[in-house]
Each structure stands twice: as structure tokens, then as C-alpha cells.
Amino acid sequence: MHLDHSHTGHHPERHSASAALPDGSRRALRVGLGGPVGSGKTATVAALCRELRDRLSLAVVTNDIYTQEDAAFLLREAVLPPERIAAVETGACPHTAIRDDISANLEAIEDLETALLAKGAPLDVVLVESGGDNLTATFSKGLVDAQIFVIDVAGGDDIPRKGGPGVTTADLLVVNKTDLAPYVGSDLEGMARDAKQQRGELPVLFQSLRGEPGARPVAAWVREQFTAWTARAVATA
């Protein structure tokens, strides 16, 4: 909890995305992963955990729509120990839990931070995976510091052209399952062109988890974010 909250007209950001823990130490970087159902968010999270877990202290919060399956998958795959995985239930509205009413997710993140701090293993990065939703579902800035939007080539190669808040504004757009492109007739160059048009200078990464380099480019992007986050936290300390 935020015991040092003052009432002198400061922004209420301490309740959500303040860069420091109540004791003044740096809190973990929070990265959201959103995107339509079946685009490969959970598989990407699992792959990111495998790539990053030896370098960074990681935790994952899943937002399942009506089960605990995403959390169960991550546990079964043993990508992280159970004490680093938490599931949030979203009451049939996954976008509400990441955008309009972020309280349950903030609580899950803080519980993970507190528990791991108590074990002497403070977190570096928390990955928050949204429940599968639609193209308008984005994370609140009160919940995450950076967000990745995951779409896939089989969901239709016109998705980048259609745009929408996820495609247009996410800090990173991942076009997943590029290995399927020849089978579903998706035009990867066209997707790249459309994404560039929608996103300007914001980055886009094409990814296939079935082969090299797998999730390594996305993992490298997360590490860049973490480096920048750490530098920012030092600068403002």
C-alpha cells in the first residue's frame, strides 16, 4: 500500500503507475501483451519467459476470460515457478480489466512484487497478458509502462490496414505465425507496408515461434525497455 501518499494536490499516480515502490526503491517494469483471441499471446509470453528468465527477475499476470487456462499453460510448461505467475479473473470483460478498471490487475502485480521482494528476489519485469479481445483493447497507462500488441498472419492480412488503437498505438506490434503465411495466403510485405503507414516510426516485429530466431527479437525489445526504465528510475531517484 502507499503509506506515504500525500494530500497536497499531487497526481493520484501513486495508486497505479508510480515508478517507485512505497519504500522508494524501483518497482518492476510492467509490459502489457494484448491482441485478438488466438494470435499467440500466451505462446509469446511463454517464449519470452524462456528467453529472459536467466537474465531478469520475471513474473506474469494472466487475464483469462473464463478459465485459468493461460496461467495453467504457463505452469504446465514450467516457464516460471508458480510463485511468479498470477491469474486475474475479468468478469466477461477482458478489456475492462486492463483499461477501464485496472484495480484487480494492479493488486495482482503488487502482490507478486511484495511476495518476491520478501523472498529477496525483487522483480525486474512483470508481463501482463490480456484476455483475447478485439482490435480496440489497449492497456491503461495506469497499469503498464509499455505495451505489445500481438496479431497473427492467419487472422487476416488486412488487420494492419484496418488499424484501431491496438495496431496503431502499441509500443510494439508483433505479427505472429509468419510460418503460416504461405498456407493462408497472407501478404507479409503488404502487412509491413500497412503497419508502417498506421504506426509511423513505432516498431513492428514479424515473428514465428516455430523456428529461429523465435521470440528473441521481441525479448531484445523488452530488454531495451527495461534498460531505459532502469536509467529513468535512476535519473528520477
Partner 1 sequence: MAGAAALLLLADGRFPAGGHAHSQGAEAAVKAGRVHDAATLEEFCRGRLHTAGLTAAALAAAAAAGHDPLALDEAADARTPSPALRRTARKLGRQLMRAARATWPGPELDELAAARPQGVHQPVVLGLAARSAGLGPLEAAQAAAYDNVSGPATAAVRLLSLDPFHATAVLARLTPETDEVARRAGTAGSGAVEDLPAASAPLLEITAEQHATWPVRLFAS
Binding residues (CB under 8 A) for partner 1: these are: 1-3, 5, 7, 12, 15-16, 65-68, 88-93, 96-97, 100-104, 106-107
CB of 107 to partner 1, least distance (A): 6
Residue 42 in marked binding region: yes
Q: Distance (Å, rounded) from C-alpha 134 to C-alpha 202?
A: 20
CB of 73 to partner 1, least distance (A): 14
Q: Distance (Å, rounded) from C-alpha 207 to C-alpha 229?
A: 24
Residue 60 in marked binding region: no
Q: Distance (Å, rounded) from C-alpha 93 to C-alpha 89?
A: 9
Q: Which is nearer to partner 1, 1 or 235 (CB)?
A: 1
Q: Which is nearer to partner 1, 18 or 223 (CB)?
A: 18
CB of 1 to partner 1, least distance (A): 5
Q: Which is nearer to partner 1, 69 or 171 (CB)?
A: 69
CB of 170 to partner 1, least distance (A): 22
Residue 35 in marked binding region: yes
Residue 41 in marked binding region: yes
Q: Which is nearer to partner 1, 52 or 144 (CB)?
A: 144
Contact 56, 125 (CB under 8 A): yes
CB of 11 to partner 1, least distance (A): 9
CB of 197 to partner 1, least distance (A): 34
Residue 163 in marked binding region: no
Residue 40 in marked binding region: yes
Query: Which residues make Cβ contacts (< 8 Å) with residue 87, sequence separation at least 6?
Result: 61, 62, 63, 64, 68, 70, 71, 108
Q: Which is nearer to partner 1, 9 or 211 (CB)?
A: 9
Q: Which is nearer to partner 1, 16 or 186 (CB)?
A: 16
Q: Which of 125, 174, 119 is nearest to 145 (CA)?
A: 125
Binding residues: 35-42
Instruction: List, as residue ranges, the binding site for GTP.
Output: 35-42
